[in-house]
Amino acid sequence: MKKNSFWGKLLRWLVPIGISGIAIFLVLRQISFPTFVENLRLIRWESILFGVSLYLVSYLFRVACWYLLLRKKVSFWDVFFTMGAGYLLNNIFPFRLGEIGRAVLLGDPKGLSALEVLSSVAVERILDVLIGTFFILLMLPRVLSGDFNTTLIIVVFIVTLVGLGILFAAAKYRDRINLWMTRRGEKTSFLHNWLAPKVKKLLDGLLILENIPLFLLAFASLILSWVISFAENYVIFQNLHASPSFWWMIFVMSAAAFGAALPSAPAGLGVFEGVMVGAFALVGVSTEVGLTQALVIHAIAFILSNIIGIIGLRLRGEAVVDLFQRVLTRRTDYSGAQ
């Protein structure tokens, strides 16, 4: 049993790292290093500083979105640093534990429970997918020179909206769901003692969906975060291309966001760059230029989010490794393992 557990854990580490390794290999075998180095020299420090500023503004709007989804029940700066800590976990450990890390850090027995926080994170991620799906599919007709069946856009968008609609329904009928769970729990101790309380806390985290103005404000904040991120990329890319189109940034960054969600080494290393290089290739940008842009943008996000995360953990008196262990334990608890 222990042997199986060991090999299972080993595979969980090796598979994402292997995927990143393959992505890195496929990108590096196509580039000319002298050209790549020359491209790096083209990027001016003023552009880097402007890009850093835009990243921070984009990050603030993303924090504002989550703050509103949490119904302002915690301070804005707690949300600011906790989000950074979540990104820090994703940047240095595999398995994308940052979302659970956010719930562990903000969860408070006297306030919001960890499961309520996790519900808000789930809503944020669904909104992210909705926005990213919309942007990338909106740009596909341009990428494919207009020879594109818009049915796919409609189908994917509707499917994502249906997912959001299910969450709205769960929030609206949470009392009925809780009552049903309670009645079923009278016959099953597992439901009564373990599942029902957790479902209740998860549904409590969806209460934001009943406050339509607040929800729409959160959604608008997230959209602004995306748009400013496109602007950040455009500012950097102007150093590498004489006349870039802004819509390229919309398509490439939307594709990169989906790529970063794939299993990979920490921080999406390799996979993020590979997807971004591939997306740039579709609009006629060379591998060297695409890789330069990807690495610079990735480095800005990696460094700044880690700094914010480290400061946040220091303020809470937390150690990164200790938080990682707590998150692993909590993930097991959420999965139902005892």
Q: pLDDT at position 338, please?
A: 34
Q: Tell me the C-alpha distance between 174 and 171, whole Å.
A: 5
Task: Check residue 332 and report its DSSP letter.
Answer: H
Q: pLDDT at position 238, please?
A: 94
Q: pLDDT at position 247, please?
A: 93
Q: pLDDT at position 3, please?
A: 42
**Count of helices and strands (H, E) across the chain:** 15, 0
Q: How far is CA 245 from CA 156, 250, 283, in A?
A: 26, 10, 10
Contact 79, 67 (CB under 8 A): yes
Contacts of 163 (CB under 8 A, 6+ apart): 126
Q: pLDDT at position 264, please?
A: 61
Q: pLDDT at position 165, please?
A: 81
Q: pLDDT at position 2, please?
A: 44
List the chain pLDDT tens, one digit each, 338 residues: 444 465 556 566 666 677 677 777 777 777 788 888 898 899 999 999 999 999 999 999 999 999 999 989 899 999 999 999 999 988 887 767 788 888 888 877 677 788 888 888 888 888 888 888 888 878 887 887 655 555 655 676 677 778 778 877 877 777 787 777 777 666 676 665 656 666 766 677 677 778 888 889 999 999 999 999 999 999 999 999 988 899 999 999 988 887 776 666 666 777 888 889 888 988 889 989 999 999 999 999 999 999 999 999 998 888 887 877 777 776 655 554 33
In the chain, where are the structural domains located?
A: 33-102+111-172+205-335
* Token digits of residue 164: 């959001």
Contact 292, 312 (CB under 8 A): no
Q: pLDDT at position 304, please?
A: 96
Contact 267, 260 (CB under 8 A): no
Q: Tell me the C-alpha distance between 181 and 192, whole Å.
A: 8
Q: pLDDT at position 336, please?
A: 47
* Token digits of residue 168: 């709205």
Q: pLDDT at position 22, please?
A: 76
Contact 294, 154 (CB under 8 A): no
